[in-house]
Amino acid sequence: MRIILARQAGFCAGVKRAIDIAEECCDQEYSFYSLGPLVNNDEVVRRLESRGIIPIETLEQVNPPNRLIIRSHGASRGLLLEAQSKGIEIIDATCPLVKQVHELVASLRGEGYDIVIFGDINHPEVQGILGWCDNKALVINDVNQVSQIKPGQKIAIVSQTTKDENKFYDLVEAINLKIGEVKVYNTICAATKKRQQAARELAQEVELILVIGDRKSSNTTTLLRECQNTGVKSYQVQNAEEIEPDWFEGVSTVGITAGASTPDWIIKEVMDRMTLLEENDKQETNGEITNEESFAHMEAEMADFTTPSRGDIINGKVIEVRDDEVMVDVGGKSEGIIPRRELAVQDVESARDLVAVGDEIEVMVLKWDDDGTILLSKKKVDSQKVMDSLEKAFESGEVVEGTVTGSVKGGLLVDVGVVAFLPASHVEDGYVKNLDDYIGNIYRFKIIEFNRNKRRGSQVVLSRKELVAGEKAKLKEAFWQNIEEGQTKKGKVKRIVDYGVFIDLGGYEGLLHVSELDHHRIDHPSNVVSEGEEIDVFILALDREKERVSLSRKQLIKSPWQIVLEKYNEGDIIEGKVVRLAPFGAFVEIEPGVDGLVHISHLANYRVEKPEDIVQPGQTINVKILSIDAEQKRIGLSIREVAADTERSEVEEYLDNQE
């Protein structure tokens, strides 16, 4: 015998919520009461009663400080006010959908509408709704009762949430024929509709249907009727004991559905009993148990059927992707929806950027919507996984990698899968001038604080300080192992001070004194290099004990004297600048840092008293190189010879022209 469970069956979101609320109240120092049974299921009510949730008939039975739980069906406004006036604390487990109906009828009543409720007048939900429209509504359970409505009335129609939708519209049509102004509100709950629809579909596939649920339960009664209307043999049972083995004679496929107030454990008991019946049957006919396959199948169905609770992590398959949300088949009774904001830690334009139809993903149940759909989060599962791995890293001291995403008061925010905090004092192993310089960069960190339960501030706190210090120490060690005097290294200008420049040699800083910047005098180091610039430096001296490195740039560039020797010869007439005067002559700069002397006797071709009679400091003049003494670093110059040479060449030119 094959057993098939309806796609949607059992506890609806409203009933599940009420049970969850009641369970939170169980086993406490006060008693909790529910006015009438909490749900329409005696077995559930008995279980709750054994844990301190007592059903009562009237408010008089509640003595403060004992408390009152309002069941999922809701209660009238009058009852709530009366409870308040008696000082009774109320725990409201009214289904949010039922609450909507309360608000709706109260507002319609205020607008002057006569309310018609399609429902059973004795049902607690209808009693509650009546109490929100001053008990003035007309309750109709059958289209034949429409005659009670007088023509000319301004009518608004609502429904008990668990009623049959087709019957509701039959009623609406009948009222419409009689009345001019009618407002129609289909307040039948989607969970009810889905269960009815699933039961009808199931009826097409099976030879017999079992409807599990309490006989007081309106939606179970409706489910049974829906199944019977399909023509398939249908039985209602409240529990496994009510199953009659005779029903299944000659039946090969059985469908199972359950009302919205039927818990999973009763459904499982029914299925277990059916398995047992089948096993006995087979033993009788074959003398051996051969239903292992069938049992395994049923177990799988039960596992699938289990209603996931808030916080559960389940597997799902993406069945539709829209820009703003993703629909996920989570198996069992309901579909799940992941809103875009719950897809990933990072923001994306469209959900399509992250998932595609067919993807198998893990999701967390956030809550059940009133229509039975489940609100899911992939982000929370991902975050939880990230938090698990961060916790491991914290415990083992493992290093994690992350991107700095922004700055806040006192530090930086870092994306390490979740947003973590990096205090300013832990960014480097020293003071940091501008935190914003770090934004957008990827670094390695150690987790110095991890607390999943922290509600204020960051659950993950990072540090780079130790790592930076460690990396620096390694680089320093490698630096001192490989460095030798006389080497040429590339370095980066780190800091410029009046007396020189600190150069980062990759792990260690050396000093390039201002006197070693160039061969000629420098007013300030910033006139030669700028911060961040990469330059070649010569390792001038090492003091390994004091860990000092003296650098030189001068050693790597040509000296002015080298330039002079390569560029000039004795006899050349060149341009120079008078830089200073002395009683014995004038000094003329011919290259930066190299001055030559024009002796007073060479200033003019006549006797000169004082050099200033011929030249002035700053004046640019032509001079002839008389001598270059590389050893003594002396250059002899002459102005007189320039004039003589000029005169000579003019005479030669004149004579050449005469010929």
- The residues of the shown chain that bind ligand SF4, judged by CB under 6 A, are 12-15, 72, 95, 97-98, 161-162, 189, 191-192, 260, 370
What DSSP line would sit under 433-487, residue for residue?
A: S-GGGGTT-EEEEEEEEE-TT--SS-SEEEE-HHHHHHHHHHHHHHHHHH--TT-
Residue closer to ligand SF4 (CB basis): 124 or 510:
124
Residue closer to ligand SF4 (CB basis): 12 or 462:
12
DSSP 355: -
The question of whether 29 is a catalytic residue gets the answer: no
At closest approach, how far in Å is the CB of 372 from ligand SF4? 7
Residue nearest to ligand SF4 (CB): 14
Q: Enumerate the H helices of 179-329 as residue ranges.
A: 190-205, 218-229, 264-286, 292-305
Residue closer to ligand SF4 (CB basis): 370 or 509:
370
Residue closer to ligand SF4 (CB basis): 3 or 191:
191
Burial class of residue 569 (count of CB atoms within 10 Å of its CB; 0-12, 13-18, 19+): exposed
Tokens 């110095």 locate to 448
At closest approach, how far in Å is the CB of 191 from ligand SF4? 4
At closest approach, how far in Å is the CB of 78 from ligand SF4? 21
Tokens 């001079």 locate to 623
Contacts of 638 (CB under 8 A, 6+ apart): 598, 599, 602, 623, 624, 626
At closest approach, how far in Å is the CB of 324 from ligand SF4? 24
Q: Measure the CA–CA gap between 123 and 73, rounded to whole angstroms.
A: 9
Active-site entry in 57, 111, 125, 288 = 125
Residue closer to ligand SF4 (CB basis): 75 or 461:
75
At closest approach, how far in Å is the CB of 108 from ligand SF4? 19
Query: What tokens were used for 89?
Result: 């604390």
Contact, 282 vs 289, CB < 8 A?
yes
Among 270, 254, 252, which Cα is nearest to 212's? Answer: 270
Q: Measure the CA–CA gap between 53 and 60, rounded to whole angstroms.
A: 16
At closest approach, how far in Å is the CB of 296 from ligand SF4? 32
Residue closer to ligand SF4 (CB basis): 194 or 519:
194
**How far is residue 2 from each of residues 255, 297, 407, 562, measured CA to CA in Å?**
8, 9, 62, 104
- Using CA atoms in the order 599, 604, 607, 610, what is the torsion angle rounded to 10 degrees? -60
Contact, 175 vs 204, CB < 8 A?
no
Catalytic residue set: 125
